[in-house]
Structures are given as C-alpha cells and as structure tokens.
Amino acid sequence: TTSPGASPERLPFSTVTLEDLDFFRRILPGRTITDPDLLESCNVDWLKSVRGSSEVLLRPQTTQEVSQILSYCNSRNLAVNTQGGNTGLVGGSVPVYDEIVLSTALMNKILSFDSISGVLTCQAGCVLEHLSVYLEQRDHIMPLDLGAKGSCHIGGNVATNAGGLRLLRYGSLHGTVLGVETVLADGQVLDCLSTLRKDNTGYDLKQLFIGSEGTLGVITAVSVLCPRKSKSVHVMFLGCETFDQLLKTFQLCRGMLGEILSAFEFLDSECMRLLNTHLKLDNPISDCPFYMVIETSGSDARHDEEKLHNFLEEAMTSSLVSDGTLATEESKAKALWSMRERVTEALRHDGFNYKYDVSLPVETIYQLVTDMRAHLGGQAKSVVGYGHMGDGNLHLNITSPTKDAKLLAAIEPFVYEWTSARRGSVSAEHGLGLKKRNYIYYSKSSRAVAVMAGIKAMLDPRGILNPYKTLPDRLL
Ligand code: FAD
Ligand code: MLT
Ligand code: ZN
C-alpha cells in the first residue's frame, strides 16, 4: 500500500507540443517561458519539500489572456497549475508532474479604491504588502496580514482562504472578500466581482472559489472590504510560565481590551530558541516558557493607553504575566511582531519541516505539542508550538536534520487521530494542497467530500485545474 502522503500517479493529460508552444507564444509574446533556469524556482515550493517538472511557464496580464489559455488547455487536455507568490505550505502551488504553470505575477494592477466604502478592487497578482502600502497612504489597511506578505499574492490568499494575524479582529476572507472574478476551466469568465456588502440573489458563488486552491477556476480579480487604519496601535510582547496562564491572559484580554483587541498570537520557548539560533533575533524580555504578541487598534490613544495600563497592572498583580514590553512606536512594534512572524523562516533553517496546522478548542491546543513531545521521545530535532491563539489555531512543527521516514511514521497518523478525536480541523488555514489531500477524512465526512468532488466535476469536467490537489485520491 502507498502512504497517504505519497505522490499520485500521473493522470493521462496531454504533454506540451511545439504546436502548443506556438499557440502560447502567439497570445503571450515574450511571456511564454521555457528556459529551464527560469522554470526552476516555479517548480519548487517555499519549503523546498516538493518539486515538479513543468517545462512551460505562462505569464498572462489580463483576464482575457487567462481565458484564452484555459480554453486552449481544456480543448487539448493539458493540465494547469495556477501559481501566485508560491508561498503555500502544503505543496499546492507547484506542479506535481509537467503541468503548465500559469503565474499571476504580471496581473498586478489595482483597478479601483473607493474611500467611502473602503472597497479595493484589484487583479489577482497584486502582492499583499504592495496593497497594504497603497491602502495605508489612503488611511485604510488590508483586513489580512501574514508573514509571507512580501511575496504572496491576493489571488493566492483568496485561493487558500489565508487566515493570518488579523483574523481575530476582521474575520476570514469569506466575510471580507465581496467579489471574485474567475476564469473557469473551459475559458468562460465568471464575473462575480461585486462590491456590495449585501447580495442575496441566490447562491453566493464567489464563496466556492475562496479556499478552492486553484482546483475550480483561476481567480483573476477580487474586491475586498478594507477597514480604516487605526489611529492608535499598540503591540505588547509578554511572557508567562504555563499554558494555563496564557489562556487566562487571553480571557483577561478579551474582557479588558475587548473592542480594541486586534491580535492575540503565541509562541513557545522552543520557537524563541530557533529565532535566536538561526535568525540572531534577541528575546526582548526575560526567558519564559511561553510568549504572547498582543496588538490593540483603536481610535483614541489616551483611551487605549489607559485600558492597556489597567490590563497590564491586573495581569502582573494576578501573576499571570512574568515579564513584558510595550511598543507604540512603529519600528519597535514591527520588531516585536517579527518575533512571531519569522518563526516559519527560523524553522526552515532548522532542517526538514513537518508542518501541522490544526484548529481545536483553544484550551486544548498546546496539549498536542506536549503529547507529541512525549510520543516522539528524542526522535526529532525540534518540536515547537506557535499560532493564532485567538482563533484556536495551533501550528505544531517538527524538524529533523534531513527527511526521515521513521520519524514521519511516528508523527502520522498520531497527529491526525489526536486532532480528529477532539473534532478539530487537520488544516485550519493552509489548505490541503498535495500534501494533506488524503487526510481530509479526518475532518470531513465522506458525504461532504463526495459533494466537493461533484462540484469539481461540474466546473472542471476534464480535471485540468491543479490536478492531484485538495481532493483525495479515492472517494470513500
Ligand atoms: P501560492 O503559494 O502561489 O498558491 C497557493 C495555492 O493557491 C495553490 O494551490 C495555487 O494553485 C492556488 N492559487 C494561487 N493563486 C491563484 C489564483 N489566482 N487563482 C486560483 N488559484 C490560485 N497562511 C495563512 O493562512 N496564514 C498565515 O499566517 C500564513 N503565514 C505564512 C507565512 C510564511 C512565511 C509563509 C511562507 C506562508 C504563510 N502562509 C500563511 C501560507 C500561504 O497560504 C500564504 O502565504 C498565501 O495565502 C499563499 O499565497 P500565494 O500567492 O503565495 O499562493
Ligand atoms: C504562521 O502563522 O506563521 C503561518 O501560518 C506560517 C506557519 O504556519 O509557519
Ligand atoms: Zn498561521
């Protein structure tokens, strides 16, 4: 039997011929790439854990060009892998075999911004950080923020339904994305690019594409509801002794900072060790078993500071928090945020990464890290826990010097069974991609998976869009 994580067999798609290349060069002159050196980076994922062997990279600039590409590929039975910033963590963004890579990198135009409603409409290839800078100049912010902001595209964010560091405050993209324009597998353009807050004219089709990981259509443009930039932003970096204290501090925060709380993130001391070792980042406070990054965003600095002062006093006198620092100035706030945002990068330097992204009832999230450490004994190099505490989302990461099949067999299916037994999700925010596709049944019923497969068959009958991803190899 093959392991659930193993690569599936290549499906009987056509292979790219010289005539196909002629066609692509005609519609995308100078933007049909076949140079192996240029193809190298789009065949390998960010974690350098999976590698495809595509020989063609297409760089369209318009929806019409995407439509022409898909219409042609569908008629020729050529498989297509849509790629944004290639920062995905589940092997979904790179080809498995020789799928054509369709990059959104040149679809990077902002189409409109309405400062009254706060609705931004842009092409799918806009880099998240560029959108954030554009909006900040207009007194607004993006409703999402993540460590990969410098590379990831908004289309990739929508395709993965990325969560990130602000979800606690602004909710998921299922709420903040108001419209999506998609090109379907046969080249038809599905225009659901609404900018309305409310629209109950039947099924909300755009929701299907949010989190569909490139398997149902190519997202070419989106409209996003953007909040106003807060006048007063504060970031605290606090340390505590136990996970129970972390939980109690979270509860205290919700009670005392309620309406101004905009993020509540955590990391453990093992993450801190990796930040020190691999990125030379110094701990801004004294050593503790757990750390929190807490952000508040409000409209009145005096009011917010008074609240923060009362919260800190209560947290210290009730001995929940052992040490901490508070930043108002932007550069210091950024430095504190990097202690949380750069854990992913530190882990990549530590060796081969086994990444788990689960959501669970918040009070149980760290027990998985403790149980995993006990279960593995000394087999792993590092076992670390961090994540979006406010969303009940744990990132459990394990490393070994090189890829180690014996260690993997000790981790899986243990981690999935543990999560499933508590009715958690085996992918809280990263999606399923190639790596997690066969673990879907730990979190979804076979009926639900069959409905997903039916939708896929309806929208992409030949299965050319991101094959081998998201859906499991077998229906139960
Ligand atoms: P890619 O990696 O290029 O693609 C991801 C998937 O979306 C693939 O399946 C691809 O086929 C599909 N896709 C991409 N663009 C389109 C499109 N236009 N139309 C249809 N399908 C498309 N994720 C979180 O949820 N929260 C985090 O906090 C977070 N932090 C991260 C931090 C780091 C340092 C890194 C490396 C990754 C992080 N991620 C996080 C994971 C990742 O999902 C996000 O970075 C991002 O949403 C992916 O966007 P991308 O443009 O890089 O997409
Ligand atoms: C994060 O929250 O840092 C991201 O989801 C990336 C990761 O899980 O490492
Ligand atoms: Zn995350």
DSSP H or E run through 71:
helix 63-76
Nearest CA owner, ligand 1 atom 15: 156
Tokens of 240: 């505590």
Token look-up 């099924």 returns: 203
For 109-128, what is the mean pLDDT? 98
Does ligand 1 have an atom closer than 6 angstroms to the CB of 125? Answer: no
- Distances in Å between the Cα of 78 and the Cα atoms of 56, 61, 244, 463 are 11, 20, 53, 10
Sign of CA dihedral 136, 250, 265, 273: positive
What's the rounded Cα separation, in Å, for the pair 395 and 436?
A: 15
Q: Mapping DSSP to helix (H, G, I), strand (E, B) and coil, where does residue 436 land?
A: coil
Does ligand 1 have an atom closer than 6 angstroms to the CB of 432? Answer: no
Say if residues 462 and 74 touch (Cβ distance below 8 Å).
Answer: yes
Confidence at 2, pLDDT banded by 50, 70, 90:
low
DSSP per-residue codes, 190-208: EEE----S---SS--THHH
What's the rounded Cα separation, in Å, for the pair 357 and 48?
A: 18
> 143: which residues sit within 8 A by CB, 6+ positions away?
166, 170, 171, 173, 176, 224, 225, 226, 227
Does ligand 2 have an atom closer than 6 angstroms to the CB of 357? Answer: yes
- Rounded distance from Cα 190 to ligand 1 centre (Å): 22
pLDDT higher than threshold 60 for residue 366: yes
What's the rounded Cα separation, in Å, for the pair 388 and 396?
A: 12
| Predicted-complex ipTM score | 0.99
- Rounded distance from Cα 474 to ligand 1 centre (Å): 25
- Rounded distance from Cα 344 to ligand 2 centre (Å): 6
- Rounded distance from Cα 74 to ligand 2 centre (Å): 35
For 199-212, what is the mean pLDDT? 97
Which ligand sits closest to the CA of 356? 2
Which ligand sits closest to the CA of 161? 1
Does ligand 2 have an atom closer than 6 angstroms to the CB of 147? Answer: yes
- Rounded distance from Cα 280 to ligand 3 centre (Å): 22
What's the rounded Cα separation, in Å, for the pair 214 and 202?
A: 24
Say if residues 418 and 371 touch (Cβ distance below 8 Å).
Answer: yes
User: Among 166, 270, 279, 343, which residue has the most ligand 2 atoms within 8 Å of its CB, making it the best to mutate?
Assistant: 343
Does ligand 1 have an atom closer than 6 angstroms to the CB of 148? Answer: yes
- Rounded distance from Cα 23 to ligand 2 centre (Å): 40
Beta-bridged to residue 260, according to DSSP, are: none
Residue range 251-277, pLDDT digits in tens: 999 999 999 999 999 999 999 999 999
For 128-152, what is the mean pLDDT? 98
Of the CA atoms within 13 Å of residue 46, those in its CB half-sphere come to: 19
Report the chain's mean pLDDT, rounded to a whole number.
97
Q: What is the pLDDT of residue 6?
A: 77
Residue range 144-180, pLDDT digits in tens: 999 999 999 999 999 999 999 999 999 999 999 999 9
The candidate with the shortest Cα–Cα distance to 410, out of 379, 370, 455, 387, is: 379
Residue range 414-451, pLDDT digits in tens: 999 999 999 999 999 999 999 999 999 999 999 999 99
Nearest CA owner, ligand 2 atom 2: 387
Atom of ligand 2 nearest to the CA of 387: 2
What's the rounded Cα separation, in Å, for the pair 59 and 181?
A: 18
Q: Mapping DSSP to helix (H, G, I), strand (E, B) and coil, where does residue 373 land?
A: helix
What's the rounded Cα separation, in Å, for the pair 395 and 219?
A: 27
Residue range 18-49, pLDDT digits in tens: 999 999 999 999 999 999 999 999 999 999 99
Does ligand 1 have an atom closer than 6 angstroms to the CB of 213? Answer: yes
Atom of ligand 2 nearest to the CA of 340: 3
Nearest CA owner, ligand 2 atom 7: 344
Does ligand 2 have an atom closer than 6 angstroms to the CB of 52? Answer: no
Atom of ligand 2 nearest to the CA of 265: 2
Atom of ligand 1 nearest to the CA of 220: 18
Confidence at 325, pLDDT banded by 50, 70, 90:
very high
Share of the chain above pLDDT 90, in %: 98
pLDDT higher than threshold 80 for residue 1: no
Confidence at 4, pLDDT banded by 50, 70, 90:
confident
User: Among 58, 152, 342, 357, which residue has the most ligand 1 atoms within 8 Å of its CB, making it the best to mutate?
Assistant: 152
Per-residue exposure over 230-257, b if at least 16 CB sit within 10 Å of its own CB, e if not: bebbbbbbbbbeebebbbbbbebbeebb
- Distances in Å between the Cα of 20 and the Cα atoms of 53, 62, 70, 183, 346 are 17, 20, 12, 20, 42
DSSP H or E run through 365:
helix 365-376
Does ligand 2 have an atom closer than 6 angstroms to the CB of 88? Answer: no
- Distances in Å between the Cα of 65 and the Cα atoms of 32, 70, 196, 341, 399 are 12, 9, 27, 36, 42
- Rounded distance from Cα 165 to ligand 1 centre (Å): 14
Does ligand 1 have an atom closer than 6 angstroms to the CB of 393? Answer: no
- Rounded distance from Cα 163 to ligand 3 centre (Å): 7
Tokens of 471: 């859906």
- Distances in Å between the Cα of 86 and the Cα atoms of 82, 204, 240, 458 are 10, 28, 36, 27
- Rounded distance from Cα 385 to ligand 2 centre (Å): 10
For 75-91, what is the mean pLDDT? 98
What's the rounded Cα separation, in Å, for the pair 248 and 246?
A: 5
Residue range 218-237, pLDDT digits in tens: 999 999 999 999 999 999 99
Confidence at 7, pLDDT banded by 50, 70, 90:
confident
What's the rounded Cα separation, in Å, for the pair 302 and 246?
A: 27
DSSP H or E run through 58:
strand 57-58
> 200: which residues sit within 8 A by CB, 6+ positions away?
none
- Distances in Å between the Cα of 321 and the Cα atoms of 47, 66, 375 are 35, 53, 29
- Distances in Å between the Cα of 147 and the Cα atoms of 42, 75, 144, 158, 342 are 20, 39, 11, 16, 7
CB atoms near residue 156 (< 10 Å)? 28
Atom of ligand 2 nearest to the CA of 430: 5
Sign of CA dihedral 224, 229, 230, 232: positive
Residue type, 281: L
- Distances in Å between the Cα of 35 and the Cα atoms of 15, 38, 93, 103 are 17, 5, 19, 15
- Rounded distance from Cα 429 to ligand 1 centre (Å): 10
Nearest CA owner, ligand 1 atom 8: 93
Confidence at 188, pLDDT banded by 50, 70, 90:
very high
For 294-314, what is the mean pLDDT? 96
Nearest CA owner, ligand 2 atom 8: 395
Radius of gyration over alpha carbons of the chain, in Å? 23
